[in-house]
Amino acid sequence: MSEAENEGTPAEATSDETRVCGLAGASLLWGIASLLSPFAGFMAAVFAVRVGVRHTAVVVAVGLATALVCIVPAVACGHGALGRIKRAGGTLRGRGRAIAGTILGYTGLLLALFLAWWGVWALEQTNRAWCRMNLKALGQGCHNYASTHKGRLPESLSRLHELDGGGSRVVVRLPEHRRHPTAPRPD
């Protein structure tokens, strides 16, 4: 057939005329990053705890916000690429990349939610351990006070912070550096 005969018929898309959808590649890259971002969010939450942030909501918000920076673009680019590829009618490639990026983004979301739950659980366990330790210290302080004051217990717990009769030692010392920020300071 000559070129003149082909002018009236629609040309079929050949593999040379198809191109790769850029959003599909972006979705795949963001999807891979979304699997790593929950761990970065978890490390940011661990850092927040180490510098003294003891509020569970703050720690979880830091972790999830860090993870969502990569998860949202992975899912959005994946769905956008799938829509473009479908509308292109065979002239765009990259459907597998778009699906992989979308799946990785959703997997990153599940991983971020799991790490947030685990972080809350671990932080609560840490708080409980500190509470047990403080209660044990208070009990020991009451016992020490009673042994130096003829078996009498203190009228209030603030008396446990007073100096002993000789003025040389504290009856009980609580760990001040790990005190909850909303807890009242001892008198």
DSSP for 13-37?
PPTTT-EE-HHHHHHHHHHHHHHHH
Q: What is the mean pLDDT of the chain?
A: 75
Please tell me the distance from the alpha carbon of residue 156 to that of residue 172, in angstroms, as a whole number. Answer: 13
In whole angstroms, what is the distance from residue 168 CA to residue 69 CA? 55
* Span 159-163, average pLDDT: 57
Q: Is residue 187 part of a domain?
A: no
Mean pLDDT for 5-17 is 48
Boundaries of domain holding 172 = 15-178
**Residue 1, pLDDT above cutoff 50:** no
pLDDT digits 0-9 by tens, 142-156: 887 788 878 888 777
Beta strands in 79-179 (DSSP E): 92-93
Q: How many domains would you assign to the chain?
A: 1
Better pLDDT: 156 or 118: 118
Please name which of 146, 143, 119 lies closest in space to residue 41, comparing C-alpha atoms: 119
Residue 95 φ/ψ, nearest 5 degrees = -60, -40
8 in a structural domain: no
- Flag whether 165 is in a domain: yes
In whole angstroms, give the CA distance from residue 27 to residue 98: 6
Any domain includes 90: yes
Q: Which of 162, 167, 168 is nearest to 145 (CA)?
A: 162
CA distance 89 to 97: 17
Q: Quick: pLDDT tens for 24-70.
A: 999 999 999 988 888 777 777 777 767 766 666 776 777 788 788 88
Confirm whether 133 is domain-assigned: yes
Q: What is the pLDDT of residue 60?
A: 75
How far apart are alpha carbons 45 and 54 in whole angstroms?
A: 10
Q: Would 109 be classed as within a structural domain?
A: yes
Structure confidence at residue 186 (pLDDT): 53
Top mean-pLDDT range of 52-61, 101-110, 157-166:
101-110
Decide if 7 is inside a domain.
Answer: no
Residue 5 is assigned to a structural domain of this protein: no
Structure tokens at 29: 């890259």
Measured distance CA(15)–CA(18) in Å, rounded: 5
Q: Over 70: is that where the pLDDT of 117 sits?
A: yes
The model carries a pTM of 0.62
